[in-house]
Structure 1
């Protein structure tokens, strides 16, 4: 299994996706104060997809891992190009990888189940576009050492625990 690390460009792409989603979502201060749960609940599909995207980049192998690593590689390249040509920055800098807990066999099983659920939801749900953006953002930020990287260990632990619980119950 080949672990891909995110560059400053990849983190920039992830943060740009996050900012775009938040700007599209922003209901305004008055509506947010009036009904915060409803408005914050509208972010739930993005957050769930972000968690899924972060899980897929945490060392999952096979086709799902390859797709996640390829997505990260493309995002790194696009972000690095934007930094060089857009603001005169440098390329090839790693943003400092995060140490993460690898997924167990049962945790990987959970990721496969989540992949089926995400593919079906992205195709049939009214939140399909948001789910795709959340997954892409999670892939970009899942191995970063910054604010988003802190979620890698709890996500892996949760997937491993859920896998042990589900597969232990049937085995």
Structure 2
């Protein structure tokens, strides 16, 4: 697992800010009819949770893609910090203690991978799914709120895997 740098966290937060600004319907619209507007966030949030889980995988193709995405995002963010605002590259952001996925938890993440790929190819919200997963990968191991979300997500997936595959097997 790659360590996220401040540049990687910056990329993740930039994606989040970009998405929220595009989504923002306005205060009055949210006050009058909140449910339709909030439901437009669902694909992004679901993909964000998937991205957090993908970066927690320890190996395989899903883990390699997530690690590579994190590495590239950290590199791009570091370049942006150095050339954009004169910062320093390669500083590791505070990493969160993460909950490893069990064998059955990994199986659930693999099934979620199939769902995300199908959603990206089929659904109108493919862009939202891509941005959400990318954001989750960038923020999933940071020490902030996203890092704290990784532990309950991993525990939920591990429990789901144990429950589902325990019944089947």
User: TM-score of the superposition, structure 2-length normalised?
Assistant: 0.98
* Cα RMSD after superposing both structures: 0.7
Instruction: Give 2:114's match in structure 1, choosing from 113, 116, 124.
Output: 116
- In 2, distance between residues paired with 1:55 and 1:13? 18
- In 2, distance between residues paired with 1:94 and 1:59? 20
Aligned residues: 169
* Mapping of residues 34-45 of structure 1, within 5 Å: 34-45=32-43
- In 2, distance between residues paired with 1:154 and 1:148? 11
Quote the offset at 1:10 in angstroms.
0.1
Contact 1:60–1:108 (Cα < 8 Å) also in 2: no
- In 1, distance between residues paired with 2:32 and 2:147? 32
User: Gapped runs of 5+ residues in structure 1?
Assistant: none
Return structure 1 stretches of 4+ with deviation > 2 angstroms. none
Q: Does 1:104 align with 2:95?
A: no
| 1:64 alignment counterpart | 62
- In 1, distance between residues paired with 2:166 and 2:87? 50
Contact 2:104–2:161 (Cα < 8 Å) also in 1: yes
Contact 1:98–1:143 (Cα < 8 Å) also in 2: yes
User: TM-score of the superposition, structure 1-length normalised?
Assistant: 0.97
Give the secondary structure class of the aligned counterpart of 1:57.
Answer: helix
